[in-house]
Amino acid sequence: MVAARKAFRWVALGLITLAAAFVIAFPETAGLALQLPLLALYSVARMFAAYVLSLVFAIAYGTTMATNRKAAVVLLPLLDILQSVPILGFFPAALIFFVTTFQGQPVGLEIAVVFLIFTSMSWNMAFGVYESVSTIPQDLVDAAKGFGVRDWLKFRRLVFPATVPKLVYNSMLSWSNGWFFLVASEIFTAFGSTYVRPGLGAFIADRGSAGDIAGIFLGLAVLAAVVVALDAVLWRPLSVWSERFRIETTGTGQPVPRVPLPYIRLTWLPRFVRPRRWVGTRLRPLATGYARLTVRMDRAASAHRRVIRTVRWVDLALFAVIFALVVVTGIVGLIGLLLRPHSPGVSEIPAATVRSLARLALAYGAALAWTIPAAVVLGRSPRASRLLTPVIEVSASLPATALLPLIIGFAIFLTPSSGTEAEVAAFLVALFAMQWYLLFNLIAGVRAIPGDLDEAARSFGLKGLAFWKRLIFPAIAPSLITGSITAWGAGWNALIVSEYIQFGRCGPSPCLYWTEGLGYLMDRATFGVPQLGLLPDGELLLLSILTMVLVVLAMNKLLWRPLFRRASARYRLEV
Amino acid sequence: MPEERPPLLEVKDVSRSYFEAGKEFKILERVRFDLAERDFVCIVGPSGSGKSTLLRIILGLDKPTTGEVRFEGQPLTPDNPRVAMVFQSFALFPWLTVEQNAELGLEARHDPLEARHAQARKFIEAVGLAGFENAYPRELSGGMKQRVGIARALAIEPVLLCMDEPFSSLDALTAQNLRDEILQLWSNPELPPKAVLIVTHSIEEAVYLADRVIVLSARPGRIVAELEIDLPRPRNRKEPEFFGWVDEIYSLIV
C-alpha cells in the first residue's frame, strides 16, 4: 500500500505539471476549462438518471421473465430483439416524439437523451437478472418457502441478493455503453436544426467543429478523469462487495469482504482525504434504523399482498398494451410503406449492407490482430499487467463517439483530400468501438487458464505454435465469442455515427464526410443531405433499420450462438 | 407398550409419479405411516427409492399424485411454523451472516428486532456456534454450516424437525458429534423439537438414531417394513444387537 501511495503522489505531481503546461500553452482553451466541472456534473447526472431507470426496469423485467413462465414466452424473445436493435437508428424518431410532446422545451430534449442512454443500458442488465434468478439453487428456494419467506422479504433476502454479482458486472458494461450514447446524443443535428444539451459530449463535439484540438484534448481528459474516478470510487468497491453474493458450494474458509463500501480500495489515497474509521461507528445507528424499517416494511407488504399483486398485474398489463400498440402500428406502417412505390434510395440497401459488413469485418480482424497477443501478454505477465493496465483503462474509458473529432482529424491528416478520409475514419471508429470489449473478455479468458494446465503444457515441452493451438486458443474460445458478440453490437452502432460525419466548416455549413453503408443510409434518410439535394426519407430509414436488425439477429442466431454452444461444450474449463 | 398418542403427522397412501413423453415413472407407491409426539423416525432406502421426494411431499414443497399428508389433522402447508427443515446441502443464504440465517424464519414471522436477535442467539449458542454470529457461511466448515442449518430450524421452535440426509456431506467424526447433539436436543423437554423425522441412506445411522425405522424399497419406493428399534440409549455400535438390526434392515433392502 505504501508503494500505491507513492505512485499516487507521482501521478498527482505529473497531472499538476501537465495542467500547468496546458494553461501556459493554451490560455484561451484553459479559460473554457472553468465550465467543465458543471458540464461534467450534467453529463453524470444524465447517466445516473438513465441508470436508475435501467436498474428498476432490469429487475422488474428480469424477475418477471424468470418467475412467470407464461410472460417469459413473450418477454424473452422481445428482449433478444431489443438487444439487437441498433439504438442510435431510433434516436431521431425518439427525438421528434419527445421534442414535439414537450413543444420544444429543453425538458423534452433532456428526456430524449436520458431515454437513449436508458435503451443502451438496460437490456444486458435485464438478461443478467434473468440468468441469476433462474439459476437460484432449488434448495435455497425450498428453504425460503419452508421458513415462510415470501413477498417483499423473499425479494430482499433471496431474489435481489442472488442478482447482485451479475447486476454489478452488467452495470459496469452498461455504463461504458451509456457514455458512448451520451456523447452521441448531447449534440444532435436533425431536421435542419441542432439540438444541444450542455455536457461533456457536447463540449467535445463543439470544440471539434471549431477545429480546436487543444479543446478536444481538454474535454477528453476531463471525460477520462470522470470515468476513471467513478470506476475507482463506485464500481471497483461495488464489484469487491458483490463477491459476497456469489453462490458457491465450494470454497470453505475464505474470508468474505466486510469492510464498509467506501473503505475498500481507497488505501491509495493520502491519509487526510481517506474516510476515517469513526464514520463506520457513526453510521451504525443508521443500520439499526434501517433494520427496524425493514421489519415494518415486511409486515406491511404481507398485510397488503393483494394490493401489491394487483399493482404488479396492472404494471404487466400496461407493458403488454404498450408493446401490442408498438407492434401493431409498426406492422401497419410497414404494410403501408410496402404498398407504395419505393423511394429510389431503397435499391441501395443491399450494396450498403455488404459494404458495412465488410467494414466491420475488417475492423474486427484488426481488433483481433492486436487484442489476442496483447491479452496473452497482459493475462500471463503480472508485470506487464501492472504497468499497462492504467494506460489501457484510461484509453478504454473514452467512448469512440468522443474520439470522433480526433479520428476524423487524423484521417484527414493521413489521407489529405484523397476522398478516402471518410472510409478511414469509419474504419477507425468501428475499431475503437469494438476493440476494448474483445481485449477485456480475452484477458479474463487468459487469466482463467488454470495454472496446472499451463505447467503441464510447459513440462511436456509444448512451445510456439503448438502451445497456442493446444492451450491458448481452446482456452480463450468461449470468452473470445462472448467478446465478439458485444463487440459486433457496438460496431453496428458505431457505423451509424461514423459513416456520415459533419466536421469543421466548409463555407456556411459543416463539412461532410460520408462513405456508403447502412449507417450512412440511415443518417441520410433521417436528415437529408441538402448539399446533395437529398431529402429526409422515412421509408428508407425504416427499411435500413430493419435490415440492420435482421443482419444482427441473423448473425447472432446463425453464427455466434452455435459457435458459443460448441465452444462452451468443448472448451469449457471444468473445475 | 407405549400409550396411544394422537398422531402428529399422518402420511396417507401417498403416491408420486413423474410423466415424461407420455410415460409414467413411479417414484413412490402408497406410502402410509403415522408419526406421534416424542417419536424419532428414520426413513431408510437405497438411492432412487424416492426418500427425498417423500420428505418434500411431507413438507408441502411437492404435491403427491394421489393420497394426502396431514399435520395435526390439517393439510400441511410448506410455511407451517410448527415444522422445520434441515437440508443435505445446508441451503444457507451465502450473503447472510450466521445470525441473519438463523433469524430467517423469525423474520418471516415479523418478530420485532430484539426478540429476533435474542431467539437466534439462543439457538446459535445451543448448537455451539457462539462467537460466530457475524461469520458468513463461506467462512465456515461443513459441520459448522450444518449447525447453522439446525439453529435456523430450531429458532422457530418447531414441533417436528425434518432432516434430509443431514449428515451425509460431513466427515465421519463431525457427523457423529452432530448426531449425538440432535439426540440430546430431542430428549431435552425444554428445547424443541418434540419429534424428529430423518431421511437417510445409512442403515447404521438409522439404527443409531431412531426408535422407529421405516424401510423403503428401490423404485418405486414402497414401505417394506416398519421396525421398532428397542435398543437402550446411548446405543453402542459395537454391540451384537446393534449389528442384528443393521443386518436385518440390510437384508430387507437387498
3-state secondary structure B49-77: CCHHHHHHHHHCCCCCCEEEEEECCEECC
Give the pLDDT mean for A135-163.
Answer: 90
- Torsion, Cα of A234, A236, A242, A244 (10° steps): -120
* A173 lies in some domain: yes
Could you tell me which chain B residue has the CA closest to the CA of A300?
A: B110
Domains observed in chain B = 7-82+194-253 (3.40.50.300)
- CATH number, domain of A551, equals 1.10.3720.10
Report the alpha-carbon distance of residue A3 to residue A58 in Å, rounded: 40
Do A553 and A471 form a contact (C-beta atoms < 8 A)? no
Check A139 against B91: CB less than 8 A apart.
Answer: yes
pLDDT of residue A260: 47
- % pLDDT > 90, chain A: 16
Whether chain A has a CB inside 8 Å of the CB on B78: the answer is yes
Q: Does the structure show a pLDDT above 80 at A59?
A: yes
Q: Which of residues 131-170 of B touch A (CB under 8 A)?
A: 136, 138-142, 152, 156
pTM of the model: 0.84
Beta bridge mates, B16: B28
Q: Does the structure show a pLDDT above 60 at A251?
A: no
Query: What Cα–Cα distance (Å) separates residue A416 from each residue in A28, A419, A432?
Result: 28, 8, 22
pLDDT of residue A51: 96
* A29 lies in some domain: no
CA-closest candidate to residue A61, choices A29, A89, A88, A83: A83
> Same structural domain for residues A57 and A169?
yes
> Same structural domain for residues A199 and A65?
yes
* A310 lies in some domain: no
> Which candidate in A132, A138, A147 is best for mutational testing of the B interface (most B CBs within 10 A)?
A147
Q: Does the structure show a pLDDT above 90 at B148?
A: yes
Confidence of residue A262 (pLDDT cuts 50, 70, 90): very low
Report the alpha-carbon distance of residue A270 to residue A171 in Å, rounded: 29
Query: What Cα–Cα distance (Å) separates residue B99 from each residue in A483, A530, B111?
Result: 41, 70, 14
Q: Which of residues 15-74 of B touch A (CB under 8 A)?
A: 56, 59, 61
Count of structural domains within chain A? 2
Check B108 against A299: CB less than 8 A apart.
Answer: no
* A351 lies in some domain: yes
Give the pLDDT mean for B226-232.
Answer: 84
* A556 lies in some domain: yes
Confidence of residue A142 (pLDDT cuts 50, 70, 90): very high
pLDDT of residue B99: 93
Check A143 against B95: CB less than 8 A apart.
Answer: no
> Same structural domain for residues A237 and A356?
no
* A295 lies in some domain: no
* A321 lies in some domain: no
Do A496 and A356 form a contact (C-beta atoms < 8 A)? no
Give the pLDDT mean for B68-74.
Answer: 87
Do A166 and A131 form a contact (C-beta atoms < 8 A)? yes
pLDDT of residue A334: 66
Which of A212, A246, A280 is a domain's end point?
A246
* A496 lies in some domain: yes
Highest mean pLDDT among A87-91, A270-274, A436-440, B226-230: A436-440
pLDDT of residue A279: 62
Check B78 against A145: CB less than 8 A apart.
Answer: yes
Give the pLDDT mean for A442-451.
Answer: 82
Confidence of residue A264 (pLDDT cuts 50, 70, 90): very low
Check B136 against A251: CB less than 8 A apart.
Answer: no
State the residue range of the domain holding A52: 36-246
* Grid cell for residue A87: 439504438
* Grid cell for residue A29: 482553451
Report the alpha-carbon distance of residue B68 to residue B32 in Å, rounded: 10
